[in-house]
Amino acid sequence: MEKGNLTVEEFVLLGFLDLPKLREFLFGIFFFSYMIILAGNGLIIIITIRDQTLHKLMYLFLRNLSFLEICYTSVTLPRMLMSLQTQDGTISFLSCATQMCFLLILGATECFLLAVMAYDRYMSICNPLRYPIIMSRKVCILLAAASWISGILVQIGLTGQIFSLPFCDSNKLNHFFCDIPPVLKLACGDTSTNQLSVYAVALIFVTAPFLLILVSYVKIISTILKLPSATGRCKAFSTCSSHLIVVTLFFGSGTITYLWPKSSHSEDMDKFLSLFYTIVAPVFNPMIYSLRNKEVTVALKKFLSERFLC
């Protein structure tokens, strides 16, 4: 990789480096957010393993989602915190490529996992009699495993394609982490092939799962509205609303970043939106699922009372 007559060995993540007066405030906000993500998602993992009432298959997917959120944020937030603390956004070429690769793999996993969770809700509400047969424990474990491994080779290939480009003019990334749009902007020459690859991968790993979620919820809502009991309708909507909120947060920000034309939004907008799918969604996921799910709330209260009140 050559930059003029020089070898590009590192990038500089500008992030919040242009806001030195807000450094301590931003560090506090992001550090607090990271602690919430670790504690909140960690608690969900613990209670869904320990509490017998949460040994249902839907909580297997929730446990996977919580673990995924911890991994996803751990790829970006510690690096952001270090940059804010040291005011140094330098990241090596290999570290940048590695960070992007893990982000893409974990992002693809979340897309598929949210789609699997939507399908699980669809089978539970629309086909309750066939649900135990179709969504057996073995099938659910296979679906969860497939969500984790399905995008690995493709995302490694996409990362390799992007970082095989020559980089010139500047090594400064106007972002908090090594994401596709800011890295491609620094590449020299024609990147149209790479842009097409990004769109193709986004269609497979973002649009396809989102369409499956959409179809599932159209059928779910249609079935719920036909329920004779108002109590039954409220319970069914309550079960699904948590998942819908998470889907909206994650897919909404991700779609604008990767699929909308770049002329329709600025780099600053990309940076702002990236906070939603890397920080905001993982922070609120445990709250959304615990506050809107009575079984999780009861199990959480029981766990906390055993630990701190006894």
Separation of alpha carbons 64 and 141, rounded Å: 10
Token pair of 156, please?
């490694």
Question: What is the Cα–Cα distance from 267 to 182, expressed in whole angstroms?
Answer: 8
104 and 158 Cβ atoms separated by less than 8 Å: yes
pLDDT score at 212:
92
3-class state of residue 115 by DSSP? helix
- Kindly indicate the confidence band of residue 257, based on its pLDDT and cuts at 50, 70 and 90: low
What is the per-residue pLDDT across 185-212, written as a single tens digit (0 to 9) for each? 888 878 889 989 988 998 889 889 999 9
pLDDT per position as a tens digit, 8-63: 788 999 888 777 888 889 899 999 999 999 998 999 999 989 888 888 888 899 89
Domain range 2-308, CATH class = mainly alpha
Per-domain boundaries in the chain: 2-308
The mean predicted confidence, pLDDT, of the chain is 84
- Of 269 and 85, more confident: 85
**More confident position, 259 or 172:** 172
Residue 222 has pLDDT above 80, yes or no: yes
Is 270's pLDDT higher than 80?
no
Handedness of CA 10, 195, 115, 235 (dihedral sign): positive
Where are the alpha helices (H) located in the chain, listed in sequence order?
Answer: 23-50, 57-86, 93-126, 131-134, 137-149, 152-163, 180-186, 192-202, 208-225, 230-258, 267-275, 281-291, 294-308
pLDDT score for 143: 94
Q: At a CB cut-off of 8 Å and minimum separation 6, what does 205 contact?
A: 107, 108, 111, 112, 151, 154
Which helix or strand (DSSP H or E) is residue 10 part of?
strand 10-13
Has residue 247 got a pLDDT over 60? yes
How far does the chain reach from its first CA to its final CA, in angstroms? Answer: 61
Beta strand 6-7 with 10-13: parallel, antiparallel or unpaired? Answer: unpaired
What's the pLDDT band for 70 if we cut at 50, 70, 90?
Answer: very high
Lowest mean pLDDT among 130-144, 171-185, 198-212, 228-242: 228-242
